[in-house]
Amino acid sequence: MNEWLEFIGTGVTVFITLYVLARILSKKLISQMTLFDFIAGITLGSMTATTFLSDNVTLARGALGLLTFAALVLLIDYLTLKSLAIRKLVNSQPTVLMDNGRIIIKNMKKVRFNVDELIAELRKAGVFQFSDVQTAILETDGSVSVLRKAQFSPITPLDLKLDPHPVTFSHVVMVQGKVLPDQLNASGYSEAWLEDRLQSHGVSNRKDVLVAQVNTDGTLFIETMK
């Protein structure tokens, strides 16, 4: 029984420790990562496994090692914010893969990026012809930024000399029958207004609402559970 309790306690400790450290080290470890972020994530996982699964490392020593490593990562992150030289040292530099519709072969070879990968990244950006591309850049986090040639770029209101209304967010104000007060306040409408809108949509019981969203034009989208 004691062994099982120790096992369960270790699992809970691992989860809490990793969660706290991940929150401290920011969301970068769970998003697209730079080389430094990738190494930091792998090392953190390896140290955690060694700490909690090895009989040769005490919990106190392992925890101290994890905290030391987390402090080092935070220090390097701080230094990269303050120093361009350190930022260049820690992070790789963006690489131009295409320029004026032409693939730069030497740069592709330099970063070991093949044509199939380039085609896939262009498709993700909504580009299906090489000739439409002005510039394609491989960013430090592994993503590819694509700039279309002017003649293939989407038309904007500025191109048409229009003065559009400011873009606003829509707000989800109800989920599974529950009103979300903060979202409702942010939308600029009251609960009385929401109730009136629900009634006009034939919804008499809030519990019947799966989701309700105030659109940017002030209308209310409602999806019921029925």
Chunk the chain into consecutive blocks of 10 residues (it has 226) and report each block's average pLDDT, rounded to whole numbers: 58 62 56 65 74 68 74 82 78 87 93 92 94 92 90 80 76 94 93 94 92 92 89
Phi, psi of 43 (to 5 degrees): -65, -40
pLDDT at 69: 76
Whole-Å CA distances, 85 to 25, 39, 142, 149: 22, 20, 21, 33
Q: Are residue 34 and residue 68 in the same domain, yes or no?
A: yes
Return the structure tokens found at 166.
């400011």
Q: Which residues span the domain enclosing 111?
A: 95-152
Decide if 194 contacts 173 (C-beta within 8 A).
yes
Q: End-to-end distance of the chain based on CA atoms, in angstroms?
A: 48
d(CA 191, CA 179): 8
85 plus 107 within the same structural domain: no
**Per the domain annotation, does 159 fall within a domain?**
no
Residue 163 inside a domain? The answer is: no
Q: Which of 106, 123, 152 is the last residue of a domain?
A: 152
